[in-house]
Structure 1
Amino acid sequence: MVTERSPKLDKERVVDTALRLLNEVGLDGLTLRTIARELDVKAPALYWHFKNKQALLDEMATEMYRQMTADARIPPDATWQERILAGQRALRAGLLGYRDGAKVFSGTRFTGIEHAAEMEANLRALLEAGLSLPQAVRATTTALLFTLGFVAEEQGVWPLPGERREGYDVEERAARMADFPLAAAAGAEVFQSFEERFEEGLRLVIAGIEARYGAT
């Protein structure tokens, strides 16, 4: 009788399983015990690879970043404005591919240096546009934080593409806030047209960098 062996348990398999489960159970439901059950192993087996859930989230965010940069394909001669647009669009698209993607990505630490090449190119482009290194860092991190915050709010309404949470009926909200006409009308802008609003927000960030630092 031949016994079928399970695939070798390694970091890559654990992370792939965790990312797949994330879309099913969300960040709150993603526990090491849940992942171990899916892998048909005991939870302690995961501690050989990840000392705690945060270490796993760090690796998950790193893998998400690898996938995002593979899709970004920023030309070497791109301007700093083009780099911000392409990088943040790729980040948003990548985060939207996972339930609670923005929450997973926020506050994590990359476990590799895959991000260094893009970071170097972005900072160099900003320095060539006349910024100092501290200013370039503030410019790039402001764009990053805008995207993370925007997607976190977007996923509060649309946890996954095509899956809308209850409680975001714009007309019902407007009726409840009829005594506050401006706030009532704002709902149509706050909870809809995310693609258009994201693009406009990025343009505002870029315009702010240009105006504040005189970037060309």
Structure 2
Amino acid sequence: MGAQRAANTTRRQPRPAITLEAVTDAALRTLQRDGLDALSMRRLADELSIQAPSLYWYVRNKDELLDLLADALLADLRLDAHVRTDGDWRTELRDMMLEYRAYLLSKRDSGRVLAGRLQLGPHFLRHAEVILGAVRRAGFDDQDTADSLYSLTQYVQGFVLHETSPLSADVARGADPKEFLEAARERLAGLSPEEYPNVVAVGARLARPDIEARFTYGLDRLLDGLRSRLENRHHD
């Protein structure tokens, strides 16, 4: 009977209080270890050793949790390491976006978490300040500066989302991506040149495995466009 009373007393003891920061940190750990599909309110509660209903004091649902994660994911990003004082804004922005992509690739499912979310958290704002500063110092007006931030960051996030998604159902089940691309190249090469003359002409390049080159090509064209716009404004 004494043992039962002791057990009841133990069960009545309140669990240690947790903070919103602790919830966010636990969500980040779960995301990195198990992926976004495995992240649920119940799984997060288990990670924190609390009952699932207790989580709703901190976040109302998974979408609200993802809003927190979208900013927390960026905590260790250091774009300010690429700030330049020599006026070479193109290299400055290019290095920042290369850093941004590499960073997001190191964070599991970051592209999926960030996709479509309007980010106004402190970490994103810190990085936005750095990027906007580089664009403004280059001489762009306020509208071009704002649009440049959106275009550059969304390009990186969208590309990361694309490159971290399975190429096909077979690849999602474990097939070798390189073998899939080789099969795709063979299929494209076997198309009718009369029906698909342009696809056949560049087919081998369409299915090339060099994702790094694809990323830098798109980034460089974005930066070329910004430079051209700046030059045209100065000539007006």
TM (norm. structure 2) is: 0.73
- Counterpart of 2:49, as a letter, is D
Distance 1:132 1:22, change over 3 A: same
Structure 1 equivalent of residue 227 of structure 2: 210
Contact 1:59 / 1:110 at 8 angstroms: preserved in 2? no
Whether the aligned pair in 2 keeps the contact of 1:150 and 1:198 (CA below 8 Å) is yes
What displacement does 1:199 show? 2.3
8 Å Cα contact 1:173/1:187 also seen in 2: no
Q: CA deviation at 1:121?
A: 4.0
1:17-32 aligned at under 5 Å gives the runs: 17-32=26-41
Compute the displacement of 1:42 (Å): 1.3
SS at match of 2:82: coil
Structure 2 residue identity aligned to 1:185: A
1:16-47 Cα shifts (integer Å, max 9, x gaps): 22222223443233111121122221111111
- Aligned residue in 1 for 2:105: 96
| Percent identity between the two aligned chains | 29
Q: Does 1:51 align with 2:60?
A: yes
SS in 1 for 2:107: coil
Are 1:113 and 2:132 an aligned pair? no
Evaluate the alpha carbon distance shift between residue 59 and residue 76 of structure 1 in structure 2; reply closer, same or farther with a 3 A threshold: farther
Larger Rg: 2
Matched residue type, 2:213? E
- Verify: 1:73 aligned to 2:92, yes or no: no
Q: Displacement, 1:153?
A: 1.0
Partner residue of 2:132 out of 123, 134, 139: 123
Return the match for 2:185 from 163, 168, 174. Answer: 174
Distance 2:147 2:174 in 1: 34
Contact 1:80–1:122 under 8 Å retained in 2: no
Q: Which residue is 2:194 aligned to?
A: none
Q: How many residues matched?
A: 208
Higher RCO (CA 8 Å, separation ≥ 6 residues)? 1
Q: Secondary structure at the match of 1:131?
A: coil
Asked if structure 1 preserves the Cα contact closer than 8 Å seen for 2:184 and 2:207, the reply is: no
Hey, what does 2:195 align to over in structure 1?
A: none
Amino acid at match of 1:77: T
Residue matched to 2:214: 197
Match of 2:196 in 1: none
The answer to whether the 8 A contact 2:132-2:146 is kept is yes
> In structure 2, what is the Cα distance between the partners aligned to 1:201 and 1:188?
16
Q: Which runs of 5+ in 1 are unaligned?
A: none
Unaligned runs of 5+ in 2: 1-5, 192-198
